[in-house]
Amino acid sequence: MGPSDAVWVPGIERMLSGHALARYGSVLAGAALSLACVASVLYTSGFESLVWGLGRLGVPRVLVALVFLSVRYLDVLTDEARRMVRARDSRGRPPRVAARARVAGAMVGSLFIRSTERAERVGHAMSARGYTGDLPLVRRSSLAAAHVAWATAFCAISVAVTWM
């Protein structure tokens, strides 16, 4: 690497060669493409279909159930965090950063304890209703044309990005 092809990168405060920047760019492009693929699969097929597909691919049942229940209760956790922030704001914010960090830490700890207690209550309720660890997801086996179109488009984009 000669001094002429090095570029100062402000975000990381280092000099990088053009080759290193190209590699970082390709990694970022691959990550963005992967995120877009996952988002499009979730958008076109829905979360229940994705969980059903994970089960059909042979992912352990416990992991499939954990993913399903975690995403299912994410809204509940978000609402609880929103209520805690509203309560903090109604009491007033501390003026110093250290005091705000202490309050934020206490809020995270309290949210963790509340979510753990709620998970225990949900687990007991599921056991009382006969939950055995198997998710009873009903799914039809037909493949929609929109799914094939999205898969084909993203495969084509992936190949194009790889060859660039």
* pLDDT given for residue 67 in this prediction: 81
Average pLDDT score over residue span 50-62: 82
Distance CA(56)–CA(8), nearest Å, equals 48
pTM of the model: 0.50
* pLDDT given for residue 161 in this prediction: 75
* pLDDT given for residue 113 in this prediction: 92
**38, pLDDT greater than 80:** no
* pLDDT given for residue 1 in this prediction: 46
Strands (E), the chain: 6-9, 14-17
* Residues in Cβ contact with 24 at an 8 Å cutoff, skipping those fewer than 6 apart: 16
145 or 125: which carries more pLDDT confidence? 125
